[in-house]
Amino acid sequence: MQSKNSINLSESENYLVNAFPGAVAIIDYDGRILSINDDWEIAGNENNFFGDGSVGENYFDYCKDFVQKGSDYALKLLLGLRNLLDGERPFFEMTYPFESEGKQKWFRVQINPYQSEGAILLFEEYTSSVTAISALKDSEERYKQQFQHALSGIIIGTPDGGIKDVNPAACKILGYTREELLNGGRSMIMDLENPINKKAWEVREEKSKFEGEKEYIRKSGTPITVQLSSVMFRNEDGGLNSINTFKDVTKQKEVESKLENEQRFIKASIESIPGIFYVIDEDQKVVRWNAAVEEKLGYTPSMIEKMVVEDFILEEDQQKVQETLQKVFAEDEGSVIAGLKTMNNGIRHFKFNVKSFSTGDEKFLVGTGVDITNLLESEKAREENFHLLEQLFENSPLGIVMIDTDNSVKKANKSFKKMFGYDCDDFKKNTIDGLMAKGVQKEEANRILEDSLVGKSTQTEGTRYTKSGEKRSVFISSVPVKNNGEVIAVYGIYVDITEQKELENRIKELLMLEKDAREKAQSSLNEKEVLLQEVHHRVKNNLAVMAGLLDLQLMEETEKDVIRKLSEVQSRIYSIAKIHETLYQEENMVSIKYHEYLKSFITSLPQFNASSDGTTNFILESDEIQLNLNQAVPFGLMLNEMLNVLYSEVDSDDSSISLILKQHDDNITLQIQGDSLNLLNLIKNRYSESFQYKLIDIFLDQLNADIEMDDKERIINISFKKMSIRGSSSSFLKEEIN
C-alpha cells in the first residue's frame, strides 16, 4: 500500500516509521526522502530546521540552505549523515538547541543505517523526556513501541537502587538479560564510589535530573562510558522513580581522543615547520596557516581570513605567482620565489613550495615558505662587493695578477699587461716567474710564492723583464687569498719603480758633483729638489695605494692572526709614507720637522684609528725638532714597531699612552709612558725571535740609541745623538732587516 508519506515502502515499514517517537524520516543514499511520519510534518510546520522537506525532496539540499544561513548545527548534521551513508561511522547523534514560542528547547537527532544504502533520522525533543514517560499512561501501545524500539538504552529505576524495567537496547549495551538486570539492580552495573558516578548522583539528587557522562560495567567486567539523561518522576502510586536514557559512547570517546591527539600532533607539526605554512582553496583564500605567518607578516587572524593570495603578493610578482598556482592545480606541485607585503609596508621574500590535494569535489593547495630575505640581501651585497673588487682589480694603477696554487696565472689586470706586455695566454705554457725573472731573482720569486701558499704576505724589491726583454725595477707584494682558512690563490702586486730608481741614481750623481761645483750646481740643486719632491710624492702615492689594497684584504679577512699581521704591515707602510709626504711638502728635502711629522704620524696610524672609540688615548708633547732624513726614517719605523708591541700589550680596557719628545743640544730623548703598559712582558720578549722585536733592535742600532725600561713606573726612555748623515736612506738601513 502506497502512502502519501512514503515512496515504495511496505505497510509494515510505514507502520514502523509512524511507531517511532519523535519526528522520523527515511532517506536514501542520495538524500531523497523516502518516508516521513506525522511528527515530521508537525515539526516542519513549527519551522524547526530539521523538520522540513516532503517525500521525494532532497534532504541534503535543505540542510545546505541552513549551512549557507550560518547554522553550524546544520553543517554538523550534514557531515555526520554523509559519513554514515559512506560507511565511515556506524551511527550519528547530535544535540542542538531550537527557539520556539520564546522558549529554548533542546533536541537530539539519532541517525542509523537503513537497509544497505539509506538512513533513518529520528529527532526527539530532549526537554520532554519526563512528558514522554507520562504520555505512556495515555497510550500504552505507543509507550511500548517507544520503549521497546528505542535505539538508546532505557532503565527505569527506584531510589533504593532497584531496577523496575529495562528495554532491549539496554540489555544489548550492558550484556545482561532483562531478568539479570531486574534481579541484580543498580549495584551490578555501576560502581557508586566512582567519582564520575558520585557526582552524577549528587546532581540528580539536587536537581531531580542529570545529563552527562557516567560509567557502567558490562557483564564481561569491562567499564563503558555512557551518555546519560536521568530524570526523577512520580509513578501512579506517588512514589519516586527514575528514567535513565543512555547510549554507549566508549568507542566514540576513543575516536574523539584519538582525533584530539591527532589534531594536537598535526598542529604541533605545523607550528614546528621552519618558515610559514598555508592552505588555500580554489578561490585563493587562505583557509589555514601557522603562527609564523602572523609573526613574519604582522597580520592578525581576522585580517588574514578576509584576504586572498593577491593581497599578500607584491605587484611585480603577482603574474608569476598566479601562473605557478594554476600550474600546481593542474600538475600537482611546484615552487616560486616572491615578495610578500607585511603589515608595516615592509617586504619579505620567500621561497614557496606548493602541492595540491583534493577532498571530495574541492581542491586545495598546501605549502611552505622559507624566508630568504636576508639571504637575498647578503647575496646582493656579496655581488656588489664582488663587482667592486673586480673594478678595483681591473682599474688599479698597480699591476696585479691572481695565481692559483699550481702557480698558474688565472687573470691579470690592465696595468699589469701595460707594464709588462704579457697577458694570460702567455702564461699557459710557463709560469709567471719563469718568463719574467732570471737567475737569483727566479729563486727569490719561488721563495715568495712558497711563503704565500702557507699564508705569509711578503714585500720585496726586485727586477722583472717585460715581454720585449726590457728590464724593470719593481716593488712586489704577495697577498694570500684564503677560504675557510686554506690558501686558494695568491695576488701578486707589482709597483713599477724603474723611474724612481733612475731618479735616485740621478740624485746620487748630482750629490757627488755638489761638493766640487756648488756654485755651478745651483740649477742642478733646484732640479734635484724637484726630482726629490717627485720621488717622494710618487713613493707616497704608491705606498698609499698599497695600504688601500691591504684595507680591501682586511675587509675580506676573518682570521684574527692574519688581520693583525696585515695591520702591522699596513702601519709600517703608513709610517714610511708619512715621511715622504712630509718631505715633498717641505722646502728642505733632506730633513723634516719631526714634531709635525710625529703629530701627523700618530693620528694616521691604524692603531690610533682602531682605538678611536675611546678605549686608548695618545697624548703627544714635543719640542720643535729638525731631523735628518736618514735618522727620521729608522726613528719613525722604530716608533711604529714599538707602538704596535705596546698596543698589543695594553692590559686595561681604558688606557692612555703619552709620548714626550725633547731635544737638549744634540741629544734627542723620547719618553713613552702609560699606566696600562705591560712593560714586564715587553722586557721578557725583547730578546725573543719575534720579527717585531728584531726590527726594534735593528732600528735602535741604526740610531745608536739607548733604551731604558722601568716596569714599576711604566716608562720607556729612548735617547740618541742628533747627526747629519749623508747618502740615501736605503743605504742607511742594515741588511739584518732582510
CA distances, 672 to each of 436, 602, 650, 718 (Å): 47, 13, 13, 8
In a domain, 385, yes or no: no
Confidence of residue 37 (pLDDT cuts 50, 70, 90): confident
Strand partners, 479: 491
In this structure, the answer to whether residues 620 and 723 fall within a common structural domain is yes
In this structure, the answer to whether residues 600 and 738 fall within a common structural domain is yes
DSSP track, 145-197: HHHHH-SSEEEEE-TTS-EEEE-HHHHHHHT--HHHHHHH-GGGT--TTSHHH
**The dihedral sign for the CA sequence 350, 356, 359, 363:** positive
Provide CB contacts within 8 A for 420, sequence distance 6+.
Answer: 399, 436, 464, 465, 466, 467, 472, 494
In this structure, the answer to whether residues 78 and 183 fall within a common structural domain is no
- The pLDDT, as a whole number, for residue 538 is 64
pLDDT value at 575 more than 90: no
Confidence of residue 662 (pLDDT cuts 50, 70, 90): very high
H/E element holding 121?
strand 118-125
In a domain, 97, yes or no: yes
pLDDT value at 529 more than 80: no
In this structure, the answer to whether residues 183 and 118 fall within a common structural domain is no
User: Which of 354, 371, 388 is the last residue in one of the domains?
Assistant: 371
Cβ atoms within 10 Å, residue 295? 10
Confidence of residue 738 (pLDDT cuts 50, 70, 90): very low
In a domain, 485, yes or no: no
Angle between helices 140-149 and 129-138 (to 10 degrees): 130
pLDDT in tens, 173-201: 999 999 999 998 888 988 888 888 888 88
Alpha helices by DSSP H, 621-686: 629-649, 679-685
Contact between residue 170 and residue 155 where contact means Cβ atoms under 8 Å apart: yes
Q: Are strands 471-483 and 486-496 parallel, antiparallel or unpaired?
A: antiparallel
What are the CB-based long-range contacts (under 8 Å, 24+) for 670-675?
Answer: 670/639, 670/717, 670/718, 670/719, 671/715, 671/716, 671/717, 671/718, 672/642, 672/646, 672/715, 672/716, 672/718, 673/713, 673/714, 673/715, 673/716, 674/646, 674/650, 674/714, 675/714
pLDDT in tens, 313-345: 998 998 998 988 888 888 788 888 999 999 888
Whole-model pTM: value is 0.34
pLDDT in tens, 602-625: 776 655 544 444 456 778 888 888
Q: Calculate ∠ Cα 358-362-367, nearest 5°.
A: 50
Q: Calculate ∠ Cα 394-396-400, nearest 5°.
A: 70
State whether residue 571 is helix, strand or coil: helix
In this structure, the answer to whether residues 239 and 279 fall within a common structural domain is no
In a domain, 214, yes or no: yes
Cell of 659: 709620548
For 487-534, the three-class secondary structure string (H helix, E strand, C coil) is: EEEEEEEEEECHHHHHHHHHHHHHHHHHCCCCCCCHHHHHHHHHHHHH
User: Which of 323, 347, 371 is the last residue in one of the domains?
Assistant: 371
In this structure, the answer to whether residues 293 and 365 fall within a common structural domain is yes
pLDDT value at 131 more than 60: no
In this structure, the answer to whether residues 603 and 724 fall within a common structural domain is yes
Mean pLDDT, residues 6-32 taken together: 76
The position carrying cell 695565481 is 403
- The pLDDT, as a whole number, for residue 278 is 87
In this structure, the answer to whether residues 250 and 281 fall within a common structural domain is no
Mean pLDDT, residues 298-310 taken together: 89
Average pLDDT, the chain: 78
In this structure, the answer to whether residues 326 and 237 fall within a common structural domain is no
pLDDT value at 132 more than 50: no
Confidence of residue 539 (pLDDT cuts 50, 70, 90): low
* Whole-number Å distance between alpha carbons of 369 and 173: 51
Per mean pLDDT, which range of 22-26, 400-404, 542-546 is the poorest? Answer: 542-546
The position carrying cell 718631505 is 583
- The pLDDT, as a whole number, for residue 448 is 83
pLDDT value at 669 more than 90: yes
In a domain, 450, yes or no: no
State whether residue 444 is helix, strand or coil: helix
In this structure, the answer to whether residues 279 and 244 fall within a common structural domain is no
pLDDT in tens, 688-736: 667 777 788 888 888 899 988 877 777 889 999 988 765 554 444 444 3
Mean pLDDT, residues 614-637 taken together: 80
Domain span at residue 209 reads 152-255
CATH code of the domain covering residue 704: 3.30.565.10
pLDDT in tens, 347-386: 999 988 899 888 777 888 888 888 888 888 888 887 777 7
Cell of 468: 720585449
* Whole-number Å distance between alpha carbons of 589 and 587: 6
* Whole-number Å distance between alpha carbons of 547 and 569: 9
Mean pLDDT, residues 426-444 taken together: 80
Provide CB contacts within 8 A for 700, sequence distance 6+.
Answer: 638, 707, 718
The tally of domains found in the chain comes to 4
Sheet holding 33-36, edge to edge: 33-36, 23-28, 118-125, 103-114, 92-100
pLDDT value at 648 more than 80: no
Confidence of residue 657 (pLDDT cuts 50, 70, 90): confident
Taking 3-state DSSP, the helix, strand and coil percentages for the chain, each rounded to the nearest 5, stand at: 45, 30, 25
- The pLDDT, as a whole number, for residue 176 is 93
Mean pLDDT, residues 23-52 taken together: 75
CA atoms within 13 A on the CB side of 644: 24
- Specify burial of residue 450 (Cβ count, 10 A radius: 0-12, 13-18, 19+): exposed
DSSP track, 398-424: SEEEEEETTS-EEEE-HHHHHHH---G
The position carrying cell 554523509 is 82
In a domain, 379, yes or no: no
Mean pLDDT, residues 68-95 taken together: 86
In a domain, 115, yes or no: yes
Strand partners, 363: 358
In this structure, the answer to whether residues 601 and 737 fall within a common structural domain is yes
How long is the chain?
Answer: 738
User: Which of 342, 371, 400 is the last residue in one of the domains?
Assistant: 371
Angle between helices 629-649 and 691-703 (to 10 degrees): 150
In this structure, the answer to whether residues 284 and 207 fall within a common structural domain is no
The position carrying cell 722586557 is 683
Q: Pick the residue with more confidence: 675 or 460?
A: 460
Confidence of residue 136 (pLDDT cuts 50, 70, 90): very low
Q: Are strands 655-664 and 616-622 parallel, antiparallel or unpaired?
A: parallel
Confidence of residue 631 (pLDDT cuts 50, 70, 90): confident
Cβ atoms within 10 Å, residue 371? 17
pLDDT value at 212 more than 90: no
Cell of 101: 514560542
pLDDT in tens, 253-280: 887 778 778 778 877 777 777 788 889 8
CATH code of the domain covering residue 174: 3.30.450.20
CA diameter of the chain: 155
Mean pLDDT, residues 435-442 taken together: 80
Per mean pLDDT, which range of 201-205, 232-236, 531-535 is the poorest? Answer: 531-535
- The pLDDT, as a whole number, for residue 216 is 92
Sheet holding 240-248, edge to edge: 163-166, 153-157, 240-248, 223-234, 209-217
